């Protein structure tokens, strides 16, 4: 309650008066700044750009044009050199920022969540809803004939039968006869 009693309330007319005074002072300061800017510009132009004294002689005018052209070329060369320096410095700054970022080591890999998504849904998410691409992996597989496998099994047959046939001298004769 002590703070409320200490605060003095200003009347609205007093606030309005102070506000208008502040705006008048700001306006005067802006006008002064503008006048200073104009005077500064005039001084610069007087120093760097002397007034032209055009004579009626064509030769003097051509000499003046050559001088101005030379100045323009030298200024363009300086501008080009400065632009190249600025580009190089910006590239160096970016490289150094990247090195600082790498040295800090504060880059954290985000935790990846498992997402169950079919191949069709993934393609649709990547390509958008305009493209209807179905990815049926089974359609592209080569068909294997089961009959060939069964024939191979029949040819091999029961291993016990083969051993009994080859057992003893009769089995060995059969082996040699079948080879010859």
At residue 110, the 3 state secondary structure works out as coil
Q: Reply yes or no on whether the pLDDT at 1 is more than 50.
A: no
Tally of residues, the chain: 180
Q: Reply yes or no on whether the pLDDT at 175 is more than 80.
A: no
Alpha carbon distance 11, 106 (integer Å):
55
Phi-psi region at 105: left, alpha or beta (left = phi > 0; alpha = psi -120 to 50): left
Alpha carbon distance 73, 112 (integer Å):
58
- pLDDT at position 57 is 82
Q: Which residues contact 79 (CB under 8 A, 6 or more apart)?
A: none
Q: Do the beta carbons of residue 119 and residue 135 sit within 8 Å? A: yes
Whether the pTM exceeds 0.75: the reply is no
């Amino acid at each position: 309650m002590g703070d409320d009693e200490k605060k003095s309330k200003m009347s609205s007319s007093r606030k309005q008066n102070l506000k208008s005074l502040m705006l008048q002072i700001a306006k005067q300061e802006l006008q002064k700044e503008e006048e200073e800017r104009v005077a500064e510009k005039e001084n610069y132009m007087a120093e760097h750009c002397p007034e032209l004294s055009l004579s009626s002689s064509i030769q003097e005018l051509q000499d003046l044009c050559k001088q101005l052209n030379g100045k323009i070329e030298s200024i363009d060369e300086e501008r080009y050199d400065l632009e190249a320096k600025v580009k190089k410095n910006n590239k160096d700054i970016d490289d150094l920022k990247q090195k600082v970022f790498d040295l800090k080591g504060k880059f954290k890999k985000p935790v990846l969540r498992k997402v169950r998504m079919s191949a069709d849904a993934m393609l649709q998410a990547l390509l958008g809803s305009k493209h209807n691409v179905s990815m049926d992996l089974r359609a592209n597989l080569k068909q294997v004939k089961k009959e060939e496998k069964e024939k191979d099994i029949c040819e091999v047959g029961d291993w016990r039968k083969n051993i009994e046939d080859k057992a003893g001298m009769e089995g060995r004769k059969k082996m040699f006869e079948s080879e010859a």
